[in-house]
Structure 1
Amino acid sequence: MSDTDPVVVLDDAQCWELLRGQELGRLVTHVGRVIDIFPVNYVVDDETIVFRTAEGSKLFELTVNDEVVFEVDDHTDDEAWSVIVRGHAHRLDTAGEVEHADSLPLRPWIPTLKYNYVVVKPDALTGRLFRRESEPDRYGIQQY
């Protein structure tokens, strides 16, 4: 792959670096035929994603089916990127787990009480970097 390729595949280390630099992601859950997406603020702890949530549909759906997709992206004028984490999520319930999670720099963005910590443990991690440039001529002679 050259430096001019418009799409660059990121390795795991690059993906984790990008994830550590953000605070907002999207959690995708599915129960039966229902697929939901939830914006959540999060923190990376080692190589897991941790977020807090209140009782409700998100937590309920995770107890029914713990398979999730978590997505984070960002962009500038010159490039954009996206990282996808596929894995399993579960609520932290031991005193030690919760005590550790309390020490993380994770605070709710809105003034609501969120007593439940959830951790996403990845099974697979993929990321792409996109170079933002002008679109090639669609009607001219193309290279093959």
Structure 2
Amino acid sequence: MDDSPVHDISEAECLKLLAAFDMGRIAFRVGDALEVFPVNYHASGREVTIRTAPGTKLAGALIADEVVLEIDHRGEREVWSVVGRGRARHLEHEGELASAAALPLQPLIPTVKREFLRIELQRVTGRRFHRVPEPEADAEPVVDSSD
């Protein structure tokens, strides 16, 4: 049995976790600026849909080479984090817009948000951290060799 407190999460489980939750953060780089926004989202398979309004989030996500979606959870016994990477596109076709509008995506604050972004995830990774007591000061440090 592996006693390491850090474990990779399989891609299949990462996709299930993305589908089971609806709140996270997107990040992207535009020029020299790194932007990070809290978002609610809907995930199905490798597609993540975000409802938004015109502004920095929409414009930046569309011109960025890559958009990162990150979700995490902190529990009593474990903490996990899932990161999905992909390209964002603006939904514009009538059928896609109707499907996106039917998703359970409510704005985090009561504002009008009629634009939809879809992130096609190319890569999904995750890590699970088991919460254990901190070792004594003279104990051997745990080295994370996966970086």
Aligned-pair identity (%): 38
Q: How does 1:127-138 map to 2 (within 5 A)?
A: 127-138=126-137
Q: For residue 135 of structure 1, report the CA deviation from its aligned partner.
A: 1.4
C-alpha change, 1:142 and 1:100, in structure 2 (3 Å) is closer
Q: For the Cα contact (< 8 Å) 2:46–2:122, is it kept in 1? A: no
Determine the C-alpha separation between the residues in 2 that align with 1:142 and 1:66: 38
Amino acid of the structure 1 residue aligned with 2:35: D
Q: For the Cα contact (< 8 Å) 1:66–1:90, is it kept in 2? A: no
Amino acid of the structure 1 residue aligned with 2:60: E
Secondary structure (helix, strand or coil) at the match of 1:133 reads coil
Aligned residue pairs total 142
Determine the C-alpha separation between the residues in 1 that align with 2:60 and 2:132: 40
Q: What's the RMSD between the two structures over aligned residues? A: 1.7
Secondary structure (helix, strand or coil) at the match of 2:134 reads coil
C-alpha change, 1:66 and 1:140, in structure 2 (3 Å) is closer
Q: For the Cα contact (< 8 Å) 1:28–1:35, is it kept in 2? A: yes
For residues 14-54 of structure 1, the C-alpha deviation after alignment (integer angstroms, 9 at most, x for no partner) is 10111122111110011111101000001112321111001
C-alpha change, 1:32 and 1:120, in structure 2 (3 Å) is same
C-alpha change, 1:89 and 1:142, in structure 2 (3 Å) is closer
Runs of at least 4 residues off by over 3 Å: 140-143
For residues 42-88 of structure 1, the C-alpha deviation after alignment (integer angstroms, 9 at most, x for no partner) is 11123211110011111111232241111000111100000011111
Amino acid of the structure 1 residue aligned with 2:32: R
Secondary structure (helix, strand or coil) at the match of 1:134 reads coil
Structure 1 unaligned blocks of 5 or more: none
Secondary structure (helix, strand or coil) at the match of 1:89 reads strand
Secondary structure (helix, strand or coil) at the match of 2:54 reads coil
Structure 2 unaligned blocks of 5 or more: 143-147
Q: Calculate the TM-score normalised by the size of structure 2.
A: 0.89
Amino acid of the structure 2 residue aligned with 1:103: A
Amino acid of the structure 1 residue aligned with 2:83: I
**Hey, what does 1:106 align to over in structure 2?**
105
